[in-house]
Chain A
């Protein structure tokens, strides 16, 4: 269960504003990269985000660069999930590979405002907001398993250990 405040943004939130190119070579550790999350879009975000908060955005979230920090900076900042109308392909892969829950729920995006309380149950496929429940198709079992294990690499390591 994920519970937190919504940080609401528009369409085409790109990787440059999620994690600026100028930091891609010099900030490597989670605590460092978390400090620059969404820096060029919403300078308040990195200072005020709390674990479990969710990002809510429009179409094509994460478009642009393949830089994985665009996903890992949000994980490091404690973001519980990103809910959008749609995601750019590379970001979508990077998010799941790093254990970041990404969901396409257009009706919920339309209703949720900046600062609203949101409650999410990814296993059940439900989102609660202002007394209303939105249902979304549960994620495929493999994706849920990767997310539960904390990303693709921990997931593969676990599988290798089980086999070996």
Chain B
């Protein structure tokens, strides 16, 4: 019987055929951690008594959560991380040279199709957009992989998601994945991988990153797209090493098949306090807001910035709203300056932040007070996620977030552009 994409990748690494549910030890192609998870992974690495990482070219530490450092203790965490990176000669992306890990590492061609990537961050699954089996783990697992170049996995069952049709103007990858999470629930894909197929070309690559990124919000181990020509073209000048793209077999067997008609999707919002608490924007009662965040490993890429800028161009952020725009990497920030997006955001009355995960996890650069509400393009709206336990986060795509910033309440861009649905 044929294999699904995730089975094909694990089988190639294990050197034998595998079946869903099996526990398999596999070599890993790349290991990463950030300024929160690296210090604990380094501690685990040291406790194992190992001297060197398995391959310095295949390990990256990315300081992005509490950077630029918000205080002395976060600076200490980054120092531990930086010193270890120097000692081991592994990739380290200093402030001013890097950005948010899951936007940055694909940009640098360090995570590639057909590979197995483990990361000390739950959103490591983002690289599934490139056709990698990438999954988040805790620091102990990451420390073990840094030391040995191996990990163990339980081969996930595969849920096939068939995409059909074309996205409407203000609908993005965010809406596709929120729709999927609503459909399967926050644990519906636990110990499973999503495999996207059908008309995947309808989703620009940046949107596929968003979709793969939030697979974990449905409990999924990973979310994978077969690498098409757009992916191979994207990697042509950036792949850090040779790679072998893999694809699912036509006779692969799936635990479940879900069909998504992209043309029927409308801009969606996930209400507090669950990413599965989804409703179309235009069915929401009036929700006044205090803050808007546009950025993160979910929606801090070029198309995200473009869509937000399209809404904000020539408009003003509502006087009672704070709008924080965060390009995902230094490179994207520079491009936003060069191509005029920075001016659009600043003229509109948004602030432009250096790349950081900051506000998404209530860290810094936009933390909420009690009773405040935020429309955010990030990935989680759990209670207290962005600050005070009595604050509220509504998840949406960048165009919806930008329109909400202008109107001071959660709103669809259709309202500003005088369009009906469609």
B412 at the interface (CB under 8 A from A): no
Q: Please indicate the chain B residues that have their CB under 8 angstroms from the CB of A153 in the complex.
A: 44, 47-48, 140, 143-144
Q: How many whole Å from B149's CB to the nearest CB in chain A?
A: 15
Contact call B186/A63, Cβ cutoff below 8 A? yes
Q: CA–CA, A67 to B139, complex, Å?
A: 7
Q: Which 3 A-B pairs have the closest CB atoms?
A: A21-B361, A60-B187, A94-B138
Contact call B40/A68, Cβ cutoff below 8 A? yes
Q: CA–CA, A89 to B191, complex, Å?
A: 6
Q: Please indicate the chain B residues that have their CB under 8 angstroms from the CB of A59 in the complex.
A: 187
Q: CA–CA, A64 to B181, complex, Å?
A: 13
A141-164 interface with B by 8 A CB criterion:
151-153, 156-157, 160
Given contacts A89-B191, A152-B144, contact A160 B186 (CB under 8 A): no
Q: CA–CA, A12 to B35, complex, Å?
A: 26
B272 at the interface (CB under 8 A from A): no
Interface residues of A (CB under 8 A from B): 12, 14, 16-17, 20-22, 24-26, 28, 40-41, 59-60, 63-68, 71, 86, 88-90, 93-94, 97-98, 151-153, 156-157, 160
**Pick the contact of A67 from B37, B74, B367 — CB < 8 Å?**
B37
Q: Which residue of B lies closest to A161 (CB)?
A: B49
Contact call A66/B73, Cβ cutoff below 8 A? no
Contact call A90/B384, Cβ cutoff below 8 A? no
Contact call B136/A16, Cβ cutoff below 8 A? no
A-contact bits for B32-48, CB 8 A (1 contact / 0 none)? 00011101100010011
Q: How many whole Å from B298's CB to the nearest CB in chain A?
A: 14
Given contacts A25-B73, A26-B73, A60-B186, contact A93 B137 (CB under 8 A): yes
Q: List 27 A-B contacts (CB under 8 A).
A: A12-B186, A16-B382, A17-B382, A21-B363, A21-B385, A22-B362, A22-B363, A25-B36, A25-B65, A25-B74, A25-B77, A25-B363, A40-B389, A63-B219, A64-B382, A66-B119, A66-B121, A66-B122, A66-B124, A66-B137, A68-B40, A86-B190, A93-B141, A98-B140, A152-B140, A152-B144, A153-B143
Q: Please indicate the chain A residues that have their CB under 8 angstroms from the CB of B66 in the complex.
A: 25
Given contacts A25-B74, A40-B383, A40-B384, contact A157 B140 (CB under 8 A): no
Contact call B139/A68, Cβ cutoff below 8 A? yes
Q: Which residue of A lies closest to B139 (CB)?
A: A68
Contact call A160/B187, Cβ cutoff below 8 A? no
Q: Which residue of A lies closest to B77 (CB)?
A: A25
Given contacts A66-B37, A89-B190, A156-B144, contact A17 B384 (CB under 8 A): yes
Q: How many whole Å from B224's CB to the nearest CB in chain A?
A: 16
